[in-house]
Structure 1
């Protein structure tokens, strides 16, 4: 048997996000006192699989295409299209809308009810944007956001950015509301850097999960010049200047998380 066990949640206005661990359940024989009757107890084993439930109360949530498992309630669904002037397909599970040839930007769910996403072995971060906040997110990390959060794309307009392998286009989140980020590591492994005004940080893009949009990154080769970057083994890197916050996954390596 398998059970879903709630492990974390966050609520903002009419939207609640809950993260569940899917556990296998088995019965274990427990020997009682001498002459007594043995009994059984349930043992829960974490499978490492996670699932998210969104509960809406006259609110909305925009899901990455392809993650919906099932829903129930008084809900309406709308497939949003990417701005045709932008580069399509930054969502890793983007799908082609039937008959249009355009890439789906997201699925907006509106109303009152419950929405469950597909089980996955990835990790998740729940966070809330306050008024006036903006975040740039790794192009593989966006998962869902409250309908009050504006989802758009940010384009790095330099040659090095296009060639870095970390994506010319990144999702951008603006406004107020709850959002969910998919992470290769657990929330306990994420490091948050607070960068002061005038200070900067140089980061391998593969370890950067998200950062405040005010930081306006520069993408370039470490040590100057593309050839130099390739020889160093580092390739192209981000340089971000404060003030702002950067969320890193320093334990994420090619073989996966160290956890």
Structure 2
């Protein structure tokens, strides 16, 4: 059985981070400028802002897939310099191995870490946890986009990460599937207390899922404002306070676009 580890989460510190790169045309691009943020252990936090504002760049820095020009990032006071299984990453597209079954895709991380034999029984538990029972022996092309993203979540979670990085994982899904998976994310977050960091363009999604919403400016990406979401769970998208928060964040996004 899977153990729910309420202490298996981590804080993230982002100190004076700047990221500049050269694009395909040879132009210098300032993606992020002076990013400072503390993400609390066990928090669900979202980043929202216009396309190209550096949200995904920031996620890649937290994941250790990229490095800043200046500044530092820390996971529980340990400097982030490379990728690590403690930071799980779920991409916008499921990115499953097409030649492997759903079950084998979920087990891929365990096999790569050479701990599959010891944790083999957990694969079925994560299949159950993410609602994939009956699809274990299916291949990615045989399941829906929503099911593929469930498999991606299971593949990340089976490594028992302290932080789960969610880079618009629901953006390509239909509205019904998206809301279903939002509820699944909340369920997993409440059960496991994993620190979750989400990039999204969807204001409602950010409000529905998060403890705080970080609003970013257009490039160079800076933190314009951080909005606390002090709503009881489960959240009602049509409730007055929810609608007011949506209006407030949309107005702040409009202001941020002018900066």
Shorter-chain TM-score category?
0.3 to 0.5
- What TM-score comes out, normalization by structure 2 length? 0.33
The structure richer in strand per residue is 1
The structure richer in helix per residue is 2
